[in-house]
Amino acid sequence: MAMREHTSLATRCMVGSAVLALMVVTGCDGGGGGVKDGAGSTSCKPASGKVALDYWSWVPGMQKAVDLWNQQNPEIQVKLKTTPAGNAGTYQNLSNALKAGKAPDLGQIEYDSLASFRLKDGLRDIASCPGVKDSGQKFADWTWSQVQFGAGGRDGVWAVPQDTGPMALFYRKDVFDELGLKAPTTWDEYAKDARHLKKAGKYITHFSQTDPNWFTGLLWQNKATMFERKGDSWKVTVDRPESRQVAEYWQKLIDDKLVATDLQGFSPALYKAWNDGEVVTWISAAWGYSTIRDNAKSTSGKWAVAPMPQWQPGEQQAGNWGGSTTAVLGGSKHPAEAAKFALWLNTDPKALEILNREGGLYPAAKAGASLPALKQPVDFYGKQKIFDVFAQASGNVDTNFTWGPTMTDTYRYLSDGTAGVIGGRTTLRDVLKETGSQSTESLRKQSLDVTG
């Protein structure tokens, strides 16, 4: 999920990222059972009668968009299943469903995980579906590139872009004002504020073991790309100086007990801590505005948004967390209708307005730039025009960050390692090293050429 600027967000944002990863997996076969007619099939003829589609998504308020579609399209009815965020359960459940031949027709998949599902033969090529090829111009260029495999999309189109996720700092302005603190502009200031807040009986934030995507966003801000690609060869760069700087910083906050380590992301316990004022900041993507709004209702008017703290004073760098697509999965018997719904969901002005208002999505579609909601003050955030902050952040995301083709594995290694950090059995520095080694082995198991 994500937000973007009223003019042109993502033409400047991440053009060189996931598309590089996707290009290399052309022709790889992950052997996903139960989807023999999926990724290898190019047929996309509309059905002759009524169609029922299953769709999995974790976007808040998605049901309202689905209801609108169902009202307007009696011949193509969509049944929504609300699921946990990708790495919190949906991706594993999708993988299991694909193996069993029981996957839904459509699923929400983040850009960084598309290649992993492609390797499992879990995505349907929708390039030949009516309207798909002509829709590329409706989306920010970089997002359309990320849903294609092969140079120039020669190996198909495998999803429809939905949104992006530039990051900023959500903070309890009332608490900061009460303690005489201002929004930190550097990470040094953030650590100092953490100590002030600890004395006041509060944590500046939580450090979750279940949000490896979040930690990757922190690495991204520091230009710590995790993979490099030359030709058809890959090099894993998870353990690099820029990454170590981030790891050592957060390790000290953990060691000094300045962040809450017993709270997981998107959990009732975390929401209670927000409501109670025990945890008072969250470094998150633009879509996070609705997460706080919907789960910390008692704090309405008390939050504000500021740019991410910087490693050096005066810098303007932002990370990116998330950004999703609507993918047609490999076993779908109705790819034409599924693709039609996916295109409507992510381009129709009314659908975009619903997903922005209810779910906090910042659309990948160019039409989303004119959404009135993105120009208005937000009551929950003290009438601040918070989307202006995310618009600025979107232009400060490093466009050279590269996803690896097995990011699902890399995230799992990061998550497992972080659990050991919180348990005191290892350090984030060691986790980076181990994740790098494991990710290298993961690439080799996929028969990809790995150097270094």
Q: For tokens 């193996």, name the residue.
A: 99
Q: How many CA atoms lie within 13 A of 214 on its CB side?
A: 25
How far lies 231's CA from each of 94, 236, 357, in Å? Answer: 31, 14, 42
Name the token pair of 332.
């779908």
Which helix (DSSP H) or strand (DSSP E) does residue 408 occupy?
A: helix 407-422
Q: Cα separation of 254 and 203, whole Å?
A: 11
Quote the CA–CA distance of 311 and 223 in Å, as a whole number: 11
Q: What is the per-residue pLDDT for 360?
A: 78
Query: Within 10 Å of residue 54's Cβ, how many Cβ atoms?
Result: 18
pLDDT digits (tens, 9 = 90+) for 113-125: 888 898 888 999 9
Average pLDDT over the chain, rounded to an integer: 87
Give phi and psi for 351, each to the nearest 5: -65, -45
**Contact 173/310 with Cβ under 8 angstroms?**
no
The strand pair at 233-236 and 227-230 is best described as antiparallel
Q: Nearest to residue 400, comparing CAs of 24, 22, 15?
A: 15
pLDDT class of 232 with cuts at 50, 70, 90? confident
For residue 241 the two structure tokens come to: 């100086």
Angle separating helix axes 90-100 and 111-119, nearest 10 degrees:
20
pLDDT band at 13 (very low <50, low <70, confident <90, very high): very low
Q: How far apart are CA 207 and CA 261, in angstroms?
A: 5
Percent of the chain exceeding pLDDT 70 equals 89
Q: Is the pLDDT of residue 182 over 90?
A: yes
Mean pLDDT of the region 49-64? 96
Model confidence at 401, in pLDDT bands (50, 70, 90)? confident
- Given the structure tokens 């690439």, which residue do they identify? 443
User: Are 270 and 205 in contact, with CB atoms under 8 Å apart?
Assistant: no
Between 382 and 19, the more confident residue is: 382
Dihedral sign for Cα atoms in the order 111, 112, 115, 121: negative
Digit-coded pLDDT (tens) for 342-372: 999 999 999 999 998 888 788 888 888 778 8
Mention every residue, 6+ apart, whose C-beta is less than 8 A from residue 101.
33, 34, 35, 331
Beta-carbon neighbour count of residue 155 at 10 Å?
Answer: 18
pLDDT of residue 150: 57
Measure the CA–CA gap between 2 and 11, rounded to whole angstroms: 15
Q: What is the pLDDT of residue 3?
A: 35
Partners of 391 in the beta sheet? Answer: none
Does the pLDDT of residue 197 top 90, yes or no?
yes
Q: 90 with 108: CB under 8 angstroms? A: yes
State mean pLDDT over 236-252: 98
pLDDT in tens, 408-437: 899 999 999 999 999 999 999 999 999 999
Q: Is the pLDDT of residue 212 over 60?
A: yes
Name the residue with higher pLDDT: 358 or 190: 190
Q: What per-residue confidence (pLDDT) applies to 31?
A: 33
Residue 334 above 50 pLDDT?
Answer: yes
| Residue 55 binned pLDDT confidence (cut-offs 50, 70, 90) | very high
Sequence-distant (6+) residues with CB within 8 A of 136 are: 144, 153, 157
- Which secondary structure element, helix H or strand E, spans residue 227, and what is its range? strand 227-230
Tell me the two tokens of residue 59.
């976007």
Asked whether residue 22 carries a pLDDT value surpassing 60, the answer given is no
Burial 242-264 (b: 16+ CB within 10 A, else e): bbbebbebbbebbeeebbbbebb
Q: State the greatest distance between any 2 C-alpha atoms of the chain, in Å, as a whole number.
A: 67
Q: Give the tens place of pLDDT for each residue, 294-303.
A: 999 999 999 9
Determine the average pLDDT of the residues in 78-94: 87
Instruction: Name the residue with higher pLDDT: 25 or 146.
Output: 146
Average of per-residue pLDDT across 235-247 = 97
Whether the predicted pLDDT of 32 surpasses 90: no
- At 363 the pLDDT is 87
pTM for this model (two decimals): 0.77
Report the pLDDT value the prediction gives residue 149, as an integer from 0 to 100. Answer: 66
Contacts of 413 (CB under 8 A, 6+ apart): 434, 435, 438, 439
Q: Count of residues for the chain? A: 452
pLDDT at 61: 93
Which uninterrupted H or E stretch holds 214?
helix 212-221
